[in-house]
Amino acid sequence: MLAEDKKQRLIDIVNSQPDNYRLGFDEWMPKNWHIIVAFFHEANRVWGSGRRHHSARDLCAYLRHESAISEAQNKSPMNPKPFKISNNVSPYLARLYIAVFPERDCLFELKELTADSV
């Protein structure tokens, strides 16, 4: 998982750029580090494959799929459901990734924010 100093760095990025993130995203983050880590991992795989443009929503859909398959294969009464990723967070995950890796700003196309909530 993420070390505490890295978690705080990500929260600081979000709080320092309030126009780039939906109100409440910083509160969503601590409950969903596993999603952030998985998104960054897959975005790094895409970048490492040589692709220079990809969809953040597609990455989230892929993570939902992989989580559902993994959970179905390892079903236990302690963890019966795959983790949930709302498509509403994909633009913020993309913005956070680009804030951490500014040299990769071409990977995700960022659109103007709308009034969706996290």
The whole domain housing 93 covers 4-104
CA atoms in the 13 A half-sphere facing the CB of 91: 15
Which residues touch 50 (CB under 8 Å, ≥6 apart)? none
Residue 118 covered by a domain:
no
DSSP string, 61-104: HHHHHHHHHHHHHT--TTS-SPPP--GGGHHHHHHHHHHH-GGG
Residue 115 covered by a domain:
no
Task: Tell me what pLDDT residue 87 has.
Answer: 82
Q: What is the mean pLDDT of residues 25-36?
A: 94
Residue 68 covered by a domain:
yes
- pTM value? 0.86
Instruction: Using DSSP, state whether 55 is helix, strand or coil.
Output: coil
Task: Say how far residue 75 (Cα) sits from the centre of its chain.
Answer: 24
User: Residue 106: what are its φ and ψ, rounded to 5°?
Assistant: -85, -10
Residue 116 covered by a domain:
no
Tokens of 69: 């398959």
Residue 33 covered by a domain:
yes
Q: What is the mean pLDDT of residues 45-51?
A: 97
Tell whether the model's pLDDT for residue 1 goes beyond 70: no
